[in-house]
Amino acid sequence: MDLLLRGDSSFGAYRMTITDPDWQRTVTLNASENRVEDKTFIEILAPAKEAGIVTLNIDYEMWNYLPRVEWVVKIPPSMMFQPWMGSDFTNDDLMKASSIVTDYAHGIVAEENLAGYPAYKVELAPRPDAPVVWGRILAWVRQADSMPLRQEFFAEDGELTRGRRIRRGFGNQNTPAR
């Protein structure tokens, strides 16, 4: 599942809409990742007041470039769980300092039908002493090709913090995922 979503390297142009009860804004960005070399580069393109902000991650270190003040800021470990650009993503989410493959133990807890597909319901429990954000993750994975259909993220106290369904029709059971 992790390889299908992220692969060894990727590049993408994204539009992220951040919605709060009192406001909404859209951020446009380019992002590239090289998992082999453990590098991530994200550049904000819009809105204009944030255009040019760059986030760079190499191994377990992260920096932000702020063009308005021409300043590079190293993000300390204490800031890894802070929101990125006002979104639900944390700096750790961007860095992927924790790995769902190595930092969590995996177990199939059920087989269910989700979005019209037979799926495994997989529980990911953090390994002892793993540097992870989540107390537990549930993932529904399509049986035919390991494509994720839904993920739910739980805090250490067991509260559902973030749940998301992968867009219906994402990937096709008859077409290999890229």
Q: Which residue among 74, 95, 116 closes a domain?
A: 95
Secondary structure E strands in the chain: 9-19, 24-34, 39-46, 54-58, 61-66, 71-75, 104-114, 117-126, 136-142, 148-154, 160-165
Shared domain check, 113 and 76 = no
Shared domain check, 59 and 90 = yes
Residue 84 domain-assigned?
yes
Residue 7 maps to which CATH number? 2.50.20.10
Name the pLDDT band for 153 (thresholds 50, 70, 90).
confident
Q: Which residue among 95, 117, 147 closes a domain?
A: 95
Name the pLDDT band for 96 (thresholds 50, 70, 90).
low
Shared domain check, 87 and 110 = no
CA gyration radius, the chain: 17
Q: Which residue among 95, 127, 147 closes a domain?
A: 95
Residue 57 domain-assigned?
yes
Owning domain of residue 86 = 2-95
Shared domain check, 87 and 116 = no
Shared domain check, 149 and 122 = yes
pLDDT digits (tens, 9 = 90+) for 62-87: 999 999 999 999 999 888 888 888 88
pLDDT (0 to 100) of residue 176: 36
Shared domain check, 115 and 79 = no
Closest CA to 123 of 135, 106, 101: 106
pLDDT (0 to 100) of residue 71: 95
Shared domain check, 69 and 39 = yes
Query: What's the one-letter identity of residue 141?
Result: V
Say what the pTM is.
0.60
pLDDT (0 to 100) of residue 98: 65
Mean pLDDT of the 34-41 span: 84
Shared domain check, 115 and 156 = yes
Q: In this structure, is the dihedral angle defined by the CA atoms of residues 25, 138, 80 and 10, taken in order, positive or negative?
A: negative
Residue 171 domain-assigned?
no
| Rounded Cα–Cα distance for residues 73 and 65 (Å) | 6
Tokens representing 51 are: 């255009």
pLDDT digits (tens, 9 = 90+) for 13-28: 999 888 888 989 999 9
Higher pLDDT, 128 or 170: 128
Tokens representing 89 are: 């993503």
Whether 130 shows a pLDDT value over 90: the answer reads no
Q: Name the domain count of the chain.
A: 2
Q: Which H or E element spans position 170? A: none
- Peptide linkage before 76 cis (omega within 30 of 0): no
Mean pLDDT of the 17-43 span: 89
Shared domain check, 158 and 86 = no
Mean pLDDT of the 97-114 span: 88
Whether 123 shows a pLDDT value over 90: the answer reads yes
Residue 175 domain-assigned?
no
Query: Average pLDDT over the chain, rounded to whole?
Result: 84
DSSP state of 83: B
